[in-house]
Amino acid sequence: MIGWILLLTGLLATSEVLDRLQFPASQMILGLAAGAVLAITGRLPAPLPRPISIGVQAMMGVLMGSYLEPSLLSSIGVALLPVLGITVATLVVSVLVAMVFARCTRIPLPTAVLGLLAGGSAAVVSCADELDADSRQVAFMQYLRVMLVALSAPLVTHLLGRGSSGEEAAPVLSRVTNPDLPHWMIVGRGDQIAGLCIAIMLGLIGLRLAHLLRIPSPALIGPMLLTAAITAMGISHGYAPTNLFRELLFVLIGFDVGARFTRSTVMAMARMIPGMTLAIAVLSAAIAALAYLLSRCVALNLSDLYLATTPGGINAVLATAQDMGANMPLITSVQSVRLVLMVAMVPIVARLFRRRAPTPAPATAAPVPVAASWEDPR
């Protein structure tokens, strides 16, 4: 227990420094790297108990569901329908790029689909194992995408310019999380005990309902759907994990995945970086083209639409948008809707392609595909 406390404290403190340097997805990437280093060097502490892993997924579901706020959606106005259409098109483009990538690299299709899905990286990684995908490959692809998009977004947005179409939208404040709370608070309201109790109850009830309804990935999807419904109806507020608690969730998910790495896994994925980078570039270009087409139909700036639809981590994109004075209500609402849609569709899409995937051929003397060395040793 002392070892875990010291480890997590050190990771959270380091991620805080990286956040101040505007490093994208610092908690997940730092946890992933720390887990991988400890696993490869043989100094890994005892694994997290399964109830804690399930609890982390449930709280992640509560966090994802809290993004769906009607006040943010209504701020878009008449552009809501075409924007939602682009969100659905983004899912289709992600799947098509993943299919081509899987065929070219021999990576299992469910793993490729989850790895290149444009949205909800933390949630996708947390439920990868339940969908028969290699969570290490999925995490590596997801956070390579987040880093590349986050690093390129300021430059691309600057090249596109702020434009002159439309008026600047008035800021729309979130009702779920109070942005003025101190960093040490763990839920989005002043009464921490009440907010935490609501989050725990949403997690437990959502998990139970998901089991009763046989929803795939119940620990994540059940609490997310229940929280999304509560958020949309405005029944309660201030229950979303925030600040320190949210960062801890990201660190734990990243560390759990990183702890499964081996030296052969690291070498294999390093060889896949050029192919992954090309696939991410194609995905980003295709989604940018969708944003351009949308800009021709609605009176919104192309730079704002690019940030709203770009396949980068929602936190990294929002930080970039705020620094550049972009249309925050538009970007927040579109990114949030896409996040919820992507996470909700993950089990359906992954299981659909898993059933259609060809049965692997028996081992022969031929060279072994790269993906074979990535099988989870557990």
Number of domains in the chain: 1
Virtual torsion, Cα 302, 306, 309, 313, nearest 10 deg: -150
369 belongs to a structural domain: no
Note whether 234 and 175 are within 8 A (CB): yes
2 belongs to a structural domain: no
366 belongs to a structural domain: no
Residue 134 — pLDDT band, cuts 50, 70, 90? confident
Q: Distance between CA 328 and CA 307 in Å, rounded? A: 10
- DSSP designation for 118: S
Q: Distance between CA 158 and CA 324 in Å, rounded? A: 9
374 belongs to a structural domain: no
**244, HSE (Cβ side, Cα atoms, 13 Å):** 11
The boundaries of the domain holding residue 250 are 8-357
242 belongs to a structural domain: yes
68 belongs to a structural domain: yes
1 belongs to a structural domain: no
Note whether 149 and 316 are within 8 A (CB): yes
377 belongs to a structural domain: no
pLDDT tens for residues 68-96? 777 666 666 666 777 778 878 888 888 89
Q: Distance between CA 295 and CA 297 in Å, rounded? A: 5
Q: Is 212 or 313 the better-scoring residue by pLDDT? A: 212
Least confident of 289-303, 324-338, 359-373: 359-373
Q: Distance between CA 348 and CA 294 in Å, rounded? A: 27
pLDDT tens for residues 228-256? 888 878 777 778 888 888 888 888 888 88
Stated pTM of the model: 0.69
